[in-house]
Structure 1
Amino acid sequence: MTLYIGREASKLWKRICAETNTEINLLAEHWKYILAGLIFQYIHGLAARGVHYLHRPGPVLPDLGFLFLPELGQDKGHFSEMLFTFVFLSFFLWTFYPFIFKCKKIYTVLIWCRVLAFLVVCQILRIITFYSTQLPGPNYHCREGSKLATLPHPQSIFEVLLINCW
């Protein structure tokens, strides 16, 4: 029994080394795409903050989605955050798990290149729409009467560039 476990452990270690080597080679080849995708996440944050400076609260617009699925309420808003965290962490852990199939054809670096490429395209469209429409937001902090509905104009450029540091 011990001999069998030892033999399988060495196979497992060889597989881990081979997968890691392949991922490092792919990362060396595709690091520019991943870095560009991560930099664009920051640019998207700057654009969202810029819209927050321009935002003027208004009444919540009628929506069929709210008619069929009413909002949870401000006291249950953490459910949305928990669901997002669970979905994101599940995906994140899945991409770094090297033993999904015996012959793995899905590589972490390539998955993240594709995910970031889709995010960049979607966020470019999102930036275009929220700068062109300026609709009142459905979140509680965006509604009329909320202190957080508009941000005061920045005093310096660092207040804009250093997101959530001021």
Structure 2
Amino acid sequence: MTLYIGREASKLWKRICSETTTEINLLLDNWKYLLAGLIFQYIHGLAARGVHYLHRPGPTLQDLGFYVLPELGQDKAYISETVFTFVFLSFVLWTFHPFIFKSKKIYTVLIWCRVLACLVASQTLRIITFYSTQLPGPNYHCREGSKLATLPKPHSALEVLLINFPRGVIYGCGDLIFSSHMIFTLVFVLTYQKYGTRSCIKHFAWLVAIVQSLLIVASRKHYSVDVVVAWYTVNLVVFFIDKKLPELPDRSSGNLPMSLPLSTKDKDSKSKEENHKLLNGNSVDPADWRPRTQVNGKIQEDANGIHDSAMNGA
């Protein structure tokens, strides 16, 4: 029993070391994309902090979701945050599963490059939207009479740049259309829908996304329009980014891509360029310059092969 556990632990350690080496090589080639995506997360938080200074509390707007869904109240507002935390941590753990499990369909670095690209595009649209029009926040700390509804003027630029994380993010106001929680949730679910392997988990993930949407409205953190706009905007953003970004490489081939693979358009243009060279009499590979003779409908690489075949009566 002890020998079996030791052998399995040794295999697991070798797998972790091998995967770490692979991912480090990919990270060295794609660190700029990851760094840009992480920096934009700070910019998004900074934009949400800035719109809080512009927020002016007022009467809660008429909302169909508020009539249909019962209000959870301040004491139960943590439920939606708990569900979101579960979604976030589950997805992060899944992206690192190749380090532990044998079934390795994705590369962690490349999958996060793709996820961050979707997040950046969606958050850019979100920043433009909530700065265009500031709505009175429906959340409890954003209503009239709350001290957190409007931030006092900052005394220095450092006060704005620090964004008071995480309290400034949890108790923000004004960044409504569209929901940031739904951006992350939908991007994660859509990514697993494409690259995940368990159909039951895919169905469960979509169910959690729907429940998350209802909880956000029931907690009065967002208006229904914030959630509805997030659903179709994020889906469209992910759809168009999938068309533009190159497809992730297939791990079953065993080849390590040192960078993001070529897109279909790049591959087509490269093939056309090679065909153009061949038509003009320029071979892509000097090895292809050797003479070839056709015998009995078959291409022979050199004259020696023809002579040998003739001698053997072939």
Q: Alignment identity in percent? A: 83
The question of 1:128 aligning with 2:128 is answered yes
> How do 1:121-160 residues align onto structure 2 when only pairs under 5 Å count?
121-160=121-160
The question of 1:18 aligning with 2:34 is answered no
Going from structure 1 to structure 2, the CA distance change for 1:161 and 1:99 (only over 3 Å counts) comes to closer
User: TM-score, with normalisation over the residues of structure 2?
Assistant: 0.49
Tell me which residue corresponds to 2:86: 86
Q: Secondary structure at the match of 1:98?
A: helix
CA distance in 1, matches of 2:64, 2:87: 25
Tell me which residue corresponds to 2:256: none
Tell me which residue corresponds to 2:54: 54
CA distance in 1, matches of 2:51, 2:135: 11
How many angstroms does 1:7 deviate by? 4.4
- Name the larger-Rg structure: 2
Tell me which residue corresponds to 1:106: 106
Tell me which residue corresponds to 2:34: 34
In structure 2, list runs of 5 or more residues that go unmatched: 169-314
CA distance in 2, matches of 1:140, 1:70: 15
Q: Residue 139 of structure 1 aligns to which amino acid in structure 2? A: N
The two structures, once aligned, show a CA RMSD in angstroms of: 2.1
CA distance in 2, matches of 1:93, 1:158: 34
Q: Residue 143 of structure 1 aligns to which amino acid in structure 2? A: R
CA distance in 2, matches of 1:140, 1:32: 40
Q: Residue 79 of structure 2 aligns to which amino acid in structure 1? A: F
Q: What whole-Å deviation, never above 9, does each CA across 1:76-107 have from its counterpart, x for those lacking one?
A: 11112211111111111221222676341211
Q: What whole-Å deviation, never above 9, does each CA across 1:45-78 have from its counterpart, x for those lacking one?
A: 1111110001111111111222222331111111
Of 75-84 and 151-160, the range deviating more from structure 2: 75-84
CA distance in 1, matches of 2:152, 2:8: 62
Whether contact under 8 Å (2:141, 2:147) holds in the other structure is: yes
Tell me which residue corresponds to 2:163: 163
Of 12-21 and 51-60, the range deviating more from structure 2: 12-21
How many angstroms does 1:121 deviate by? 0.9
Q: What whole-Å deviation, never above 9, does each CA across 1:116-148 have from its counterpart, x for those lacking one?
A: 111111111110111001111121111111111
CA distance in 1, matches of 2:155, 2:5: 64
Runs of 4+ off more than 6 Å: none
CA distance in 2, matches of 1:151, 1:157: 14
Q: Residue 13 of structure 1 aligns to which amino acid in structure 2? A: W
CA distance in 2, matches of 1:2, 1:132: 65
Tell me which residue corresponds to 1:119: 119
CA distance in 2, matches of 1:4, 1:46: 52
CA distance in 2, matches of 1:80, 1:136: 21
In structure 1, list runs of 5 or more residues that go unmatched: none
Tell me which residue corresponds to 1:65: 65
Q: Secondary structure at the match of 2:129?
A: helix
User: TM-score, with normalisation over the residues of structure 1?
Assistant: 0.89
Q: Residue 33 of structure 1 aligns to which amino acid in structure 2? A: Y
Whether contact under 8 Å (2:57, 2:142) holds in the other structure is: yes
